Amino acid sequence: MAELKIIGVPQSTYVRVVRMAAEEKGVPYDLDPQPPHSDPVNAVHPFGKVPVMRHGDFELCESRAITSYIDRVFDGPALMPSDPVGAARAEQWISIVNTIMDQALVRRYFLAGYVYPQREKRDPDTGVIGAVMPDVERQLGVIESTLANSSYLSGNGFSLADINLMPILFYLKGTKEAGARIDNSPTLTDYYERNSSRPSFTSTIPPT
């Protein structure tokens, strides 16, 4: 049994981020697929959010803290650029993805427009989708313009910045509007295809 335990449903983009970080470092772990606000999650996170982590007697919540811990504690390739400028750019993108893009691309577009209606056996909510599409278009455009001058978000190779974005793009690729926006962009398509072939990505694809 692995000493590192990641707790949270694999469908969560944030759980996948932590799993990808462990995979990139070559760290074995056990996944306990507990939903938010379940007892094992509440025991670690004061607000019941996933993922949470246990490493021996040490407990930790919040994906940014967990990925930083994994990167610093375990051997393996560094997940953040070593130079101050590259590290700062990576941190900038992690913050943008987690505080701005997660809200629009995941919660307002993908979940509210597609997932929640599907749970009620309804078609995608075109009203919700139409209302958020300007933000979706703008945010994908920002990613595209950044990648037009760099192969990665931080400009210094694959990092935690890219790890935080890729699980979101995975879900967007399966939608009509955002999927078409990505497919029609050579820059976004190249970025997604290169990074979706990484073992850390393919081995953490969530169940449907």
194: which residues sit within 8 A by CB, 6+ positions away? 151
Q: What's the pLDDT at 31?
A: 98
Give mean pLDDT, residues 15-25.
98
d(CA 105, CA 188): 15
* CATH 3.40.30.10 residue ranges for the chain: 4-73
Q: If pLDDT is split at 50, 70 and 90, which confidence band does 156 have?
A: confident
- Per-residue pLDDT for 168 more than 90? yes
pLDDT tens, 122-135?
999 999 999 999 99
* CATH 1.20.1050.10 residue ranges for the chain: 84-202
Helices 160-173/63-73 angle, 10° precision: 130
Query: Given phi > 0 = left and psi -120 to 50 = alpha, else beta, which region is 37?
Result: left
pLDDT tens, 72-108?
999 999 999 999 999 999 999 999 999 999 999 999 9
- Per-residue pLDDT for 145 more than 80? yes
CB–CB of 177/133 below 8 Å? yes
Q: If pLDDT is split at 50, 70 and 90, which confidence band does 208 have?
A: confident
Q: What's the pLDDT at 120?
A: 96
For residue 139, give the 3-state DSSP assignment: helix
d(CA 2, CA 4): 5
d(CA 176, CA 198): 25
Average pLDDT of the chain to the nearest whole number: 97
CB–CB of 114/175 below 8 Å? yes
Helices 160-173/176-183 angle, 10° precision: 120
CB–CB of 61/45 below 8 Å? yes
Give mean pLDDT, residues 179-197.
98
Q: If pLDDT is split at 50, 70 and 90, which confidence band does 137 have?
A: very high
Q: What's the pLDDT at 155?
A: 82
- Per-residue pLDDT for 1 more than 60? no
Domain 4-73: top CATH class = alpha beta
More confident residue, 121 or 2: 121
Give mean pLDDT, residues 55-64.
97
Task: Answer yes or no: CATH 3.30.360.10 is held by domain 84-202.
Answer: no
Does the pTM exceed 0.75?
Answer: yes
CA dihedral 80, 83, 86, 89 (to 10 degrees): 90
- Per-residue pLDDT for 49 more than 90? yes
- Per-residue pLDDT for 29 more than 70? yes
